Amino acid sequence: MSTSTTTALEPDSARAGYDRDRAVRVAVLGVGMMGQDHARRLATLTAGAELVAVSDVDAARTDAVAAEFGVRAIHDPKAAILDPEVDAIVIATPGFTHEDLVLVALEAGKPVLCEKPLTTSPETSRRIVEAEAALGRPLVQVGFMRRFDAGYQQLRGLVESGEYGRTLFLHCAHRNATTPPNFSSEMLVLDSVVHEVDIARYLTGEEIVAIRVIAPRSTSAAPEGLRDPQFVIMETESGILVDVEIFVNTTFGYEVRTELVAEKGQARIGLPEGMVTQSGQGWGGSIPKDFKERFGAAYDVEFQRWIDAVRSGANVDGPGVWDGYAAAAVCAAGVESLRTGERVEIDLGVKP
Amino acid sequence: MSTSTTTALEPDSARAGYDRDRAVRVAVLGVGMMGQDHARRLATLTAGAELVAVSDVDAARTDAVAAEFGVRAIHDPKAAILDPEVDAIVIATPGFTHEDLVLVALEAGKPVLCEKPLTTSPETSRRIVEAEAALGRPLVQVGFMRRFDAGYQQLRGLVESGEYGRTLFLHCAHRNATTPPNFSSEMLVLDSVVHEVDIARYLTGEEIVAIRVIAPRSTSAAPEGLRDPQFVIMETESGILVDVEIFVNTTFGYEVRTELVAEKGQARIGLPEGMVTQSGQGWGGSIPKDFKERFGAAYDVEFQRWIDAVRSGANVDGPGVWDGYAAAAVCAAGVESLRTGERVEIDLGVKP
Amino acid sequence: MSTSTTTALEPDSARAGYDRDRAVRVAVLGVGMMGQDHARRLATLTAGAELVAVSDVDAARTDAVAAEFGVRAIHDPKAAILDPEVDAIVIATPGFTHEDLVLVALEAGKPVLCEKPLTTSPETSRRIVEAEAALGRPLVQVGFMRRFDAGYQQLRGLVESGEYGRTLFLHCAHRNATTPPNFSSEMLVLDSVVHEVDIARYLTGEEIVAIRVIAPRSTSAAPEGLRDPQFVIMETESGILVDVEIFVNTTFGYEVRTELVAEKGQARIGLPEGMVTQSGQGWGGSIPKDFKERFGAAYDVEFQRWIDAVRSGANVDGPGVWDGYAAAAVCAAGVESLRTGERVEIDLGVKP
Amino acid sequence: MSTSTTTALEPDSARAGYDRDRAVRVAVLGVGMMGQDHARRLATLTAGAELVAVSDVDAARTDAVAAEFGVRAIHDPKAAILDPEVDAIVIATPGFTHEDLVLVALEAGKPVLCEKPLTTSPETSRRIVEAEAALGRPLVQVGFMRRFDAGYQQLRGLVESGEYGRTLFLHCAHRNATTPPNFSSEMLVLDSVVHEVDIARYLTGEEIVAIRVIAPRSTSAAPEGLRDPQFVIMETESGILVDVEIFVNTTFGYEVRTELVAEKGQARIGLPEGMVTQSGQGWGGSIPKDFKERFGAAYDVEFQRWIDAVRSGANVDGPGVWDGYAAAAVCAAGVESLRTGERVEIDLGVKP
């Protein structure tokens, strides 16, 4: 939990067991809402981590966040990656910057936790897959935090147990109260459904081979021109059907529910939890207001396990670059389907 | 439950209020599982009804059921309809016989409660629509009993209140433990999804204009050759999307759930109810074993309201022949979609 | 619902099976809110029953209700009992009148369904027990309708199955939105907890041998001087503990919940049911507004089974006079405990 | 998150903000099941903490656990407290040793997180209250971890909001699958109900002034001589009634539920959460198997907040010695009531 060394961790050194003598020194790139949350997490919650620097294209914001946490402000993100006192990097910058930053980190041999999407196109994600493969060892984890949510882990445990036979359907609902300005119809797929894409792969252990996106009539609450909600139907290799209601202007709360239907049973997660009240309003409870409330604990676990993996030399303990690439490929096909109305097939090519 | 009059009710007589002096004398045609249940209902539960006769192509069964309830066995169903001591008819025979029997009843001017389907094709259902229209007054109610279920009535009340804005989706699941022998892939649509077709029309107040049926990989529990489960997507006039998971060999229980997603809120019915236990098995409850357990109370209400309607001279208090026809047309299109894999549009023509 | 016979049913006549040829002609005594509800039930829902008369000390109300249902108004309740065209009697008058009316009915040999309480004191209830015992056959059923609620029947089925071992606790909550004017502290026990007294006896199959009533600080919503809520602790013969939160000015809804704790498991009934919604208010559902909404179906079943019992000659199919007497004795002890703060033991004497 | 210093933290030094340059070096005293769990927590989960030593009367166990975590084994617990390389102490030894150990730590001026009970009698707890008061600053936190459970915090937030008016009842159930050997009837109060005592004080903000413990018939699963279950009734200063079903041989799972009844609403926590399944077994979910599963996250939060408090110089962020003393006094009265069957009043004396 403590360290006085000032040289970067040697990620390929053989390590026996848990190294208690050094903390992992982390730089967070991008300190918007998400990056700030991660900086706070690393500074106050993650055992074995030490937040040492933050970096953002907005220099004033960089300085302010650095001051808040008492760490260095490094205005050039690539300089932050290469800094000798930085052992590992969290990337929380906008998606279009990911490719460059991840490639720099790969070249520097430093572990990365990259927020989703890995990159914004299948082609660029594929390049990262190839670059890491050339390196010969995993360095990049992708921030699909749902895999660290207790509910999804229970669902996967159930699938793996084989108790209910083969999976037949996944029915998913993914709902947000509102969208930020400039949220486009494609972003419902690229930004939101991408989580269901990863979860469908995680739960079924299969690749997705086809996708169809249907845009029914939009809600009055959607900004002019936004196709919201949408309905997505995916097929996996063995023929499991995955449907997703994606609805991002529900006007209230945040809700992610998944129901798995198998041959001999079903299971649901994401149902309302917590205190149940009764009053003149009826009985019931509250709905998480945003993804931080719903998945905050999953992020905490994700970060702790990632830091543990970095300390152990494994570097990755969760979804990797292939998962990031597959998600990008499925979502790109989804955007095509949204435009054409047709079912679109997906071919990932050979995994290196 | 008793009456000494021997003349049939005059269905077009003007009636003021509730006629307490006469019970409606009912014949049940078809006394398989369903018909027997209806016979028992009329004999012991429905106020104002008197079960007077049963009829079935299986003469031995007719005699046995008649003896059990102490009523007449009439072996020819058309004779039962025409019998002067029969005021009203419940049709629970196989679907292919419905057209003939309903037309006889229409000609005789006697009220009918016809189990779904009204008939087995849009064309034959359309003939009944025309025949009743020619008669100038409603005589035929179709047995879509879900409309009498408290849950569906609550959902519809919510839609009508406008509180949650316009409806965007209906997500439906319809699950049975097992299928009888000779259940075909088409029957998942014709026999089971037909209920969701009617409920979608009831809840949205709109006609269904297109349907697509997807058959993913089948469950191991399905008999050889049966495409089970299936996934159905329907569109209404205004663009509401209705999806249905139909899965009829789940190996346990009976479950019908419907979730309505509207612009400002969602609502679910059909969730587990009843006693909740805790023990070494975990916590939970039981699942209805069949549709009689799940919808028994809805049938009771349906029959009581139908008998009340017959006594008042209104004859129909629930879905009528147009509803039966629309359901037949949508299901026929669904069967076509199941065969072709394509989206099929539906045109009901003009309502007389 | 109709009959042309004018002689009373011979209640002791031997009957083979179900008598389909005659309806039971019923008079309802007391047509306040409860009595009117029962009159409506008998007139429109209960198969085999015919509402023929109503009677109330308020002559104008009697006439109005009689007119509404098209039945006779009989101003003297004893005359209604003795009327030759009345086969059976529902007593829904105030409790203090019950003793006299039930004794008249017993003398006339006519079946009675008497709303709880059977009478207002153990002594008077005991007199009815003796009178019926002298008659040699059961004629009086007491209106503890919860025994006909599906939830309580499931709980009892669980106890009888022995699956969870011996019962250890019953935890009960009984809540009303508000109380009518002049509701006294004693009435929380006499009018409300009386239901839990009966249910505790029904579920455990044991008599209650001691009771203690604790009145903690009262809610601000209680009228001046009313001790509301109260907390009641009862002990059964074998040492099962039954606790009851009775709270009758919750300001909203009606709620009756019972949790049974046994050696190897627990079970709860009365949890919220029905449609579940989500909106800006959170997720949840509605709470029954009153006992009619919560137990309406139980009353329907109670009446149907009582009429069936009368038609079969059994006359009683549910709690009888001993149950009414035991409840009166326990509640009287409860009132004593409320006054003294002490645990009060109960001795029912010998059952005739 | 790192430190190279070898001198103890100066607990009374003025500190501005969060000290990122040093981890708190912690010794865990007592490494049975609970102490080992805390050692693991400090070693792998708590940011800003460094596990440096463990101590246990069982020398072999001390050595084994020390080796597992790569920390020092100090066989004499008092030596561990006084060790200059130990900044703070977690006490997880048996309750009867607590008084001595806490007093040593107080004398050494070192922060302590002491598992409940603070001590085993009101008198000894009172001595600690006096000793800390003499010191003039808080050093001792008591391990009532439920205060860090999200559910209890929601309940308390609701009380503090005043939205539902004044609290009237707390209904509590506290259930364990089995008890360890030598668990006595008194320990149901001293070891288990002590949590409800603290929670009742936490939620109501009031002291408990009287307690009554009723021991109904015992479950067959209880070891010979153990009075299990018991029913506890407490009264607070303002007259709130707190009842607790304590049942520690339910044969399955671990369950802690609390229902708060206030003037205008109720709220429940501890209801089943997590994945809900359906299969041939019915619908439902699993029950936490033990307190570590149910309250693991609360322990995590408790430790993080305690370490943060130690680093900030506040030393205590949660229940303190007065809370430990009050709980001891109420439980001692509870044991007396269990023996006598009488209501026992509690007088805490003046708070220093």
Segment A43-85, tens digit of pLDDT: 999 999 999 999 999 999 999 999 999 999 999 999 999 999 9
Report yes or no: B210 at the A interface, CB cutoff 8 Å: no
Enumerate the β-bridge partners of residue D29: D55, D91
Segment A157-166 shows an average pLDDT of 97
Q: What is the dihedral of CA C209, C215, C216, C222, to 10 degrees?
A: 140
pLDDT score recorded for residue D21: 60
From D177's Cα to the closest Cα of chain B, the distance in A is 9
Q: Smallest Cα–Cα separation from C229: which of C270, C179, C294, C292?
A: C179
Looking at beta carbons, which residues of chain B come within 8 Å of A220?
165-166, 263
Looking at beta carbons, which residues of chain A come within 8 Å of B250?
264-266
Per-residue HEC secondary structure of D174-243 comes to: EECCCCCCCCCHHHHHHHHHHHHHHHHHHHHCCCEEEEEEECCCCCCCCCCCCCCCEEEEEEECCCCEEE
From B297's Cα to the closest Cα of chain D, the distance in A is 21
Work out the end-to-end distance of chain A between its first and last CA atoms, rounded to an integer number of angstroms.
Answer: 36
CB contact under 8 A, B278 and D253: yes
Q: Are C178 and C316 in contact (CB under 8 A)?
A: no
Per-residue HEC secondary structure of C169-186 comes to: EEEEEEECCCCCCCCCHH
pLDDT score recorded for residue A21: 60
CB contact under 8 A, A286 and C282: yes
Distance CA(D210)–CA(C267), nearest Å, equals: 30
Tell me which residues of chain B, numbers 258 to 287, contact chain C at a CB-CB cutoff of 8 Å.
264-269, 271, 273-280
Segment C173-188 shows an average pLDDT of 95
Instruction: Work out the pLDDT band at C22, boundaries 50, 70, 90.
Output: confident
CB contact under 8 A, D251 and C264: yes
Choice among A238-247, B46-55, B249-258, C15-24 with the minimum mean pLDDT: C15-24
CB contact under 8 A, A233 and B221: no
Measured over the CA atoms of residue C251, residue C255, residue C260 and residue C266, the dihedral's sign is negative
CB contact under 8 A, B274 and C269: yes
Q: Is residue A236 scored above 60 in pLDDT?
A: yes
Of the candidates D229, D238, D263, which has its C-beta nearest C219's C-beta?
D263
Give the three-state DSSP class for B74.
coil
Q: What is the mean pLDDT of chain D?
A: 93
Instruction: Work out the pLDDT band at A22, boundaries 50, 70, 90.
Output: confident
Looking at beta carbons, which residues of chain A come within 8 Å of D288?
none
Pairing of strands D241-247, D112-114: unpaired
Q: Smallest Cα–Cα separation from D170: which of D234, D243, D230?
A: D243
Instruction: Work out the pLDDT band at C21, boundaries 50, 70, 90.
Output: low
Q: What confidence tens digit (pLDDT) does each residue in A266-297 have?
A: 999 999 999 999 999 899 999 999 999 999 99
Distance, C-alpha A237 to centroid of its chain = 23
Segment D17-24 shows an average pLDDT of 61
Distance CA(C211)–CA(C327), nearest Å, equals: 12
Domains of chain B: 24-146+297-321 (3.40.50.720), 147-290+327-345 (3.30.360.10)
Q: What is the dihedral of CA B277, B278, B284, B290, to 10 degrees?
A: -50
Of the candidates D158, D269, D279, which has its C-beta nearest A265's C-beta?
D279
Q: What confidence tens digit (pLDDT) does each residue in C241-300 have?
A: 999 999 999 999 999 999 999 999 999 999 999 999 999 989 999 999 999 999 999 999
What's at B61, amino acid-wise? Answer: R
Per-residue HEC secondary structure of B94-133 comes to: CHHHHHHHHHHHHHHCCCEEECCCCCCCHHHHHHHHHHHH
pLDDT score recorded for residue D19: 45
Q: What is the gyration radius of the CA atoms in chain A, in angstroms?
A: 21
Q: What confidence tens digit (pLDDT) does each residue in C63-96 have?
A: 999 999 999 999 999 999 999 999 999 999 999 9
Looking at beta carbons, which residues of chain D come within 8 Å of C261?
173, 229, 245, 247
What's at D103, amino acid-wise? Answer: L
Segment B220-232 shows an average pLDDT of 97
Instruction: Work out the pLDDT band at B265, boundaries 50, 70, 90.
Output: very high
CB contact under 8 A, B274 and C21: no
Task: Please tell me which residue of chain B has the smallest CA distance to D279.
Answer: B252
Segment C124-153 shows an average pLDDT of 98
Packing angle, helices B122-135 and B98-108, rounded to 10: 0
pLDDT score recorded for residue B21: 61
CB contact under 8 A, D250 and C243: no
pLDDT score recorded for residue A12: 38
Instruction: Work out the pLDDT band at B22, boundaries 50, 70, 90.
Output: confident
Looking at beta carbons, which residues of chain A come within 8 Å of D275?
151, 154-155, 158, 267-269
Residue C63 sits at φ, ψ, to 5 deg, of -65, -40
Q: What confidence tens digit (pLDDT) does each residue in C105-130 have?
A: 999 999 999 999 999 999 999 999 99
Distance CA(B253)–CA(B274), nearest Å, equals: 15
Q: Are A54 and A28 in contact (CB under 8 A)?
A: yes
pLDDT score recorded for residue C2: 34
pLDDT score recorded for residue B302: 98
Q: What confidence tens digit (pLDDT) does each residue in A83-126 have?
A: 999 999 999 999 999 999 999 999 999 999 999 999 999 999 99
pLDDT score recorded for residue A115: 98
Q: Smallest Cα–Cα separation from B239: which of B185, B170, B298?
A: B170
Q: How many residues does chain A have?
A: 352
pLDDT score recorded for residue C5: 34
**Helices (H), ranges, chain A:** 33-44, 59-69, 77-82, 98-108, 122-135, 150-161, 185-187, 194-204, 291-312, 321-340
CB contact under 8 A, B168 and A252: no
Distance CA(D120)–CA(D97), nearest Å, equals: 9
CB contact under 8 A, B235 and A243: no
Distance CA(D62)–CA(D53), nearest Å, equals: 9
Segment D44-67 shows an average pLDDT of 97
Structure tokens at B81: 């309809």
Q: What confidence tens digit (pLDDT) does each residue in D272-316 have?
A: 999 999 999 899 999 999 999 999 999 999 999 999 999 999 999
Tell me which residues of chain B, numbers 169 to 198, contact chain A at a CB-CB cutoff of 8 Å.
169, 171, 173
Q: Is residue B223 scored above 90 in pLDDT?
A: yes
Q: Is residue D5 scored above 70 in pLDDT?
A: no
pLDDT score recorded for residue B98: 98
CA distances from A243 to A220, A246, B133 (A): 23, 10, 42
Query: Does the pTM exceed 0.90?
Result: yes
Q: Is residue B6 scored above 90 in pLDDT?
A: no
Report yes or no: D340 at the C interface, CB cutoff 8 Å: no
Report yes or no: B73 at the A interface, CB cutoff 8 Å: no
Looking at beta carbons, which residues of chain A come within 8 Å of D1?
1-2, 23, 48-50
Q: What confidence tens digit (pLDDT) does each residue in C31-43 have?
A: 999 999 999 999 9
Distance CA(C198)–CA(C192), nearest Å, equals: 11
Instruction: Work out the pLDDT band at A351, boundaries 50, 70, 90.
Output: very high
Q: Specify the higher pLDDT residue, D181 or C69.
A: C69
Distance CA(C177)–CA(C222), nearest Å, equals: 11
Of the candidates C70, C164, C277, which has its C-beta nearest B20's C-beta?
C70
Report yes or no: D165 at the B interface, CB cutoff 8 Å: no
Q: What confidence tens digit (pLDDT) does each residue in A119-136 have?
A: 999 999 999 999 999 999
Q: Is residue A5 scored above 90 in pLDDT?
A: no
Q: What confidence tens digit (pLDDT) does each residue in B160-211 have?
A: 999 999 999 999 999 999 999 889 999 999 999 999 999 999 999 999 999 9
Segment A232-244 shows an average pLDDT of 98
pLDDT score recorded for residue B14: 35
